[in-house]
Amino acid sequence: MDSHHSYSQVKGVSTGVSNLFIKSYVSSKTINKLIQVHDRIFCCIAGSLADAQAVTKMAKFQLSFHSIQMESPPLVKAAASIMRELCYNNKEELQAGFITAGWDRKKGPQIYVVSLGGMLLSQPFTIGGSGSTYIYGYVDAKFKPDMSLEEAIQFSTNALALAMGRDNVSGGVVHLVVITEAEVKHVVVPGNKLPKFHDE
């Protein structure tokens, strides 16, 4: 999930592979589903990870070329548009969705959802993946615009902990990426260090 506040971004992803097909085991509890496509732009991937990795690899190349041609860091919207073009034009073959988020000089922190068929939507915060169904109520109730950095990190961690608590195929480790103008911080929180809620 993603949330952003006035000057930076927090992206959080909990790992656990939920396979759409016959196999129903968790193939890895520790993979990182946050891919960096540029200095201040990251993508959360979902769906078929093979497809998602192929798309982000192509997008990373195109974005890097675009950024060098423009002689300036790319806009988050440009990154999201590149992903959208790839998803939309190849929608028959691909099954991958993304949350593209980052910081740019023009509009500051932004979050864009690129869905399976190639829809592009900008949102103040967003959630996705199998565990997200369990936390819609929580995030809708608890989100406030213009949170501070610490509040945003706490909000993301809580939401992920709740989802991991209820979803059988979510769990393992939380990867958080905090993107600000100045730097990018990657925080890994193992499952047993997450905030504890009432769970049976």
Partner 1 sequence: MSSIGTGYDLSASTFSPDGRVFQVEYAMKAVENSSTAIGIRCKDGVVFGVEKLILSKLYEQGSNKRIFNIDRHVGMAVAGLLADARSLSEVSREEASNFRSNYGHDIPLKHLADRVAMYVHAYTLYSAVRPFGCSFILGSYDEDDGPQLYMVDPSGISYMKEMTCRELVKEVAKIIYIVHDEVKDKAFELELSWVGEVTKGRHELVPKDIKEEAEKYAKESLEEEDDSDEDNM
Site for partner 1, rule CB under 8 A: 66, 69-71, 75, 77-78, 80-82, 84-85, 105-106, 120
Q: Which is nearer to partner 1, 75 or 162 (CB)?
A: 75
Q: Which is nearer to partner 1, 78 or 111 (CB)?
A: 78
* Shortest spacing between CB 81 and partner 1, in angstroms: 3
Q: Which is nearer to partner 1, 39 or 151 (CB)?
A: 39
Q: Which is nearer to partner 1, 108 or 172 (CB)?
A: 108
What 3 state SS string does 54-73 have?
Answer: HHHHHHHHHHHHHHHHHCCC
* Shortest spacing between CB 138 and partner 1, in angstroms: 31
Evaluate whether 80 touches 120 at the Cβ level (below 8 Å). yes
Scan for tokens 């709740």, then name that residue: 162
Evaluate whether 1 touches 139 at the Cβ level (below 8 Å). yes
Alpha-carbon torsion angle 19, 24, 27, 30, nearest 10? 80
* Shortest spacing between CB 57 and partner 1, in angstroms: 17
